[in-house]
Structure 1
Amino acid sequence: MYQVGLTGGIAAGKSTVVQRLHRVHGLRVVDADHLARQVVAPGTDGLAQVVQAFGPEVVAADGTMNRQVVGEKIFNNPEARSMLEGIIHPRIQAARDRIIASASERVLIHDIPLLIETQMQDQFDEIVVVHCPAVIRVQRLINDRGMRAQEAWQRINAQISDDERLQAADTVIDNTKGIAELNAQTDALAKRLLQY
Structure 2
Amino acid sequence: MTETPNPNIIDADTLTGEMRPIRRVVFGLGSNLGERFANLQGAVDALADTPNVWVTGVSPVYETDPVDCPDDAQPFLNAVVLADTTLSAHRLIDRALAIEDAFDRMRSKVKNAPRTLDVDLITVGDRRSDKPELRLPHPRAHERAFVLQPWADLEPDAEFPGLGPIADLLAKAGADGVTRRDDLELGFE
Give the TM-score, by structure 1 length: 0.30
- Which structure carries more relative contact order (alpha carbon 8 Å, separation 6+)? 1
User: By percentage of residues, which structure has more strand?
Assistant: 2
Greater fraction of residues in helix? 1
